[in-house]
Amino acid sequence: MAEIRLYNTATRTQEALTPLQPGNVRMYVCGPTVYDRAHLGNARPVVVFDVLFRLLRQAYGADHVTYVRNFTDVDDKINAAALARKEAGVPAPLTDLIRERSDETIGWYHADMDALGALRPTKAPRATDYIAQMIALIDDLITRGHAYVAEGHVLFSVESDSAYGSLSGRSVDDMIAGARVEVAPYKRNPMDFVLWKPSSDDLPGWDSPWGRGRPGWHIECSAMARDLLGESFDIHGGGIDLTFPHHENEIAQSRCAHPDGEYAKIWMHNEMLQVEGKKMSKSLGNFFTVRDLLDQNIPGEVIRFVLLSTHYRKPMDWTEKKVADAVRTLDRWSEVFAACPDLLDEAPVALSGDAEVVTALSSDLNTAGALAALHGMIKRIDQIAVDDAGRTAELRVFLASVSLLGIDLASYAKRFLAGERFLSAEARLDDTEDWVRIKLRTLLEARAEARAAKDYARADFLRDAIISAGIVVKDTADGFDFELTDQYDPAKLEALTP
């Protein structure tokens, strides 16, 4: 087994993973705030850390990896969504609507991430189930002099933590100088952040020593990680935008409350996702959800493939070309199994996967390198005779290697071999009007007749005409097929005469 090396944001270097408890790895990843469908950006960390989860399970054993990913179900946006429903006339108490909204969103989230082939984490706690632990943690921080009560709020005192700012590499003074937040007058230091805040009567709230209220954003992760993983654990992950303030504040809370623990040892952050070269952001409104893509008939395996084709620490640009390339690659990989479809129905074998693939993944999750290694494998396999037993053995290793990336090639290939095509000509034609299909069919059949009569001049003339409308004509063993290209233009097709 190759040594697993991971880039640690906290030290800004790559480090070998050595579990604090030998043979038992503990990982916490910040999960979604469940107010709406997961957008594509939400999917990136899920897929990235799922690959890590799979790698760790293989290296240490499935029962020796604990992966916790939370659901944040205390949030203004959830409240707003519930409030909007109430105002729309839904006759139910607001708290019920809030709970309903969270439940519904969590269900969506699981379904969408399942479609991307992500394994469920070992534990998926909800913040609202850990209010008591949060209150205890806050109480502890007050006792230890790291937090104070002011006007119904409990605030963390950043000046009480000499290490504050170490993860994100900034000093408290720098932060104050560049702060663009309005500073509440009751804060002792402008950077002090909320641990607990009062709740109005019409919003969710819990009784606490400081009155009815609700927790601040950061405390939930500290409380759940403490409860489920302990004071020290191995890996903490999330999007790079969480580095500050979320993770910085988590560290501060946890280390100050548990001075003997070091909280997370390795901090991993995935870079952001862009769409066609532009930042994907809610405020710009150019984002789309995972469900949108699935509904466009883009298979989950394809989405996952694209997400893994760029290293997790680099910004990734989501483009239609990448989707098309991924479809193409998965189609090719599927075709290799045409001669041995039974392999696809075999139960997953306990193979460790190709050494090159494992080495790439072990080197700070080099998923792009792993995909390159898979390309090499398939090339080698292609050169082995179809009836050679060695080919079957190699294909099993190939499948095991692909599944280490969480790409369910067996499922994809079975659908492909059964004739399913994604982004196919037929699928695209389905969106067009009847006359297009009739016209195209007329032209294609006219050409087939010309070919049958060996009137190649006419056949080629017709094919050139169809090509000029952006449609590629293919002759197959049992007839013909066609494919729409980027130049496909219905207007040109309409102008053609047989």
Q: Return the residues of window 362-421 that contact RNA according to CB under 7 A.
A: 363-364, 366, 368-369, 371-372, 375-376, 379, 382-383
Q: Output 29 or 142, the one with its CB closest to RNA.
A: 29
Q: For residue 255, how many C-alpha atoms fall within 13 Å in the half-sphere facing its CB?
A: 19
Under a CB-based contact definition with an 8 Å cutoff, are residues 327 and 422 in contact?
A: yes
Dihedrals φ, ψ of 210, to 5°?
-110, 15
State whether residue 207 is helix, strand or coil. coil
Q: Provide the pairing of β-strand 479-484 with 316-318.
A: unpaired
Q: What is the dihedral of CA 57, 63, 69, 74, to 10 degrees?
A: 170
Q: Output 13 or 162, the one with its CB closest to RNA.
A: 13
Examine residue 91 and tell whether it contacts RNA (CB under 7 A). Answer: no
Examine residue 479 and tell whether it contacts RNA (CB under 7 A). Answer: no
Examine residue 474 and tell whether it contacts RNA (CB under 7 A). Answer: yes
Instruction: Classify residue 279 by its DSSP letter.
Output: E
Interaction residues for RNA, span 184-243 (CB under 7 A): 217, 238-243
Supply the minimum distance, in Å, between the C-beta of residue 310 and RNA. Answer: 4
Q: How far apart (Å, rounded) are the C-alpha atoms in residues 131 and 224?
A: 10
Q: Give the H or E element holding residue 157.
A: none
Supply the minimum distance, in Å, between the C-beta of residue 454 and RNA. Answer: 8
Under a CB-based contact definition with an 8 Å cutoff, are residues 361 and 311 in contact?
A: no
Q: Output 85 or 279, the one with its CB closest to RNA.
A: 279
Q: How far apart (Å, rounded) are the C-alpha atoms in residues 276 and 350?
A: 39
Supply the minimum distance, in Å, between the C-beta of residue 146 and RNA. Answer: 20
Q: Output 63 or 379, the one with its CB closest to RNA.
A: 379
Supply the minimum distance, in Å, between the C-beta of residue 62 and RNA. Answer: 26
Interaction residues for RNA, span 107-146 (CB under 7 A): none
Q: Output 255 or 463, the one with its CB closest to RNA.
A: 463
Which of 178, 185, 285, 419: binder of RNA (CB under 7 A)?
A: 178
Examine residue 322 and tell whether it contacts RNA (CB under 7 A). Answer: yes
Interaction residues for RNA, span 326-355 (CB under 7 A): 328-329, 332
Examine residue 255 and tell whether it contacts RNA (CB under 7 A). Answer: no
Which of 95, 122, 166, 309: binder of RNA (CB under 7 A)?
A: 309
Which of 119, 483, 489, 496: binder of RNA (CB under 7 A)?
A: 483
Which of 62, 111, 163, 179: binder of RNA (CB under 7 A)?
A: 179
Q: How far apart (Å, rounded) are the C-alpha atoms in residues 388 and 479?
A: 32
Examine residue 451 and tell whether it contacts RNA (CB under 7 A). Answer: yes
Examine residue 310 and tell whether it contacts RNA (CB under 7 A). Answer: yes
By rule CB under 7 A, what string of x and - marks binding of each residue 261-300 to RNA? ---------xxxx-----xxxxx-----------------
Which of 456, 479, 495, 498: binder of RNA (CB under 7 A)?
A: 456
- Give yes or no for a cis peptide into 45 (omega within 30° of 0): no
- Write out the two tokens for 405: 């990336």
Supply the minimum distance, in Å, between the C-beta of residue 97 and RNA. Answer: 19
Q: Output 19 or 221, the one with its CB closest to RNA.
A: 221
DSSP 409-457: HHHHHHHHHTT--TT-HHHHHHTS-HHHHHHHHHHHHHHHHHHHTT-HH
Under a CB-based contact definition with an 8 Å cutoff, are residues 82 and 101 in contact?
A: yes
Q: Output 19 or 223, the one with its CB closest to RNA.
A: 223
- Residue 229's contacts (CB-CB under 8 Å, 6 or more residues apart) are 26, 28, 66, 68
